[in-house]
Amino acid sequence: MTTSTSLLTPQDCCVLLVDPQPGLAFAVQSTDRQLLLNNLLALGRTASAFSIPLILSTSATKVYSGPTFAVLRQALPDIEPIDRRSMNAWEDDAVRSAVQATGRKTIILAGLLTEACVSFPALSAVRDGYRVLCVADACGGATVESHRLSLDRLRDAGVEMTSWLQFLLELQRDWTRHETYDAARAIVEAHAGGYGIGLSYARDMIKPPTPAATPSPASGA
């Protein structure tokens, strides 16, 4: 079991999204599905903004689960999903090899469903010496109670809990880090509800939008 109290950096980690597919979202009862999709998209955009390797795994695309959510495909056009048969992504050679190939020993994990396709690789990766953080608000369970129990079991096994917003802020840490400022702020404004509205408001108060110029009358009018 690998746990740590150290803050994350973009160089430490990779992101593993497991089965963000609409067919599985039909079963989600632990949270609002639109909010779940918002949070998965925010997590994917965060990985891209901080140049963090992202592995995306799918299952049963042709028979039940369908393709990756369209908004994720649009936001992450360069990510090729790894389709697998095993319920445990860690038992799929291609998925596990893709994680190992990043050289990172910290896995940021989210997806569907919490009870199985999130829990199983999390437990297996911890067993194999990885530090694993579960982005709990980007996971969906079949019931509120089973989602909670799954997260409790993961926590007991050494998996750390986080949210997509905490993950982003932990990576940014200082709004004077200009190389990621614009992208990080745009993600917060688009996906973080009231906090995003507040950031947008603060920006407009500090630097109000420039009014559009009024066209001058045509000569001779």
Q: What residues are annotated to the active site?
A: 117
Written in H, E and C, the secondary structure of 52-98 is CCEEEEEECCCCCCCCCCHHHHHHCCCCCCEEECCCCHHHCHHHHHH
Q: In 115-177, which residue ranges form alpha helices assigned H by DSSP?
A: 119-127, 144-156, 164-172
- What Cα–Cα distance (Å) separates residue 73 from each residue in 87, 129, 212, 221? 22, 31, 35, 52
Give, for 4, the enclosing helix (H) or strand (E): none
Distance CA 174, CA 192 (A): 18
- Please, which residues bridge with residue 131 across strands? 106
Virtual torsion, Cα 142, 143, 145, 147, nearest 10 deg: 30
Q: How many CA atoms lie within 13 A of 151 on its CB side?
A: 24
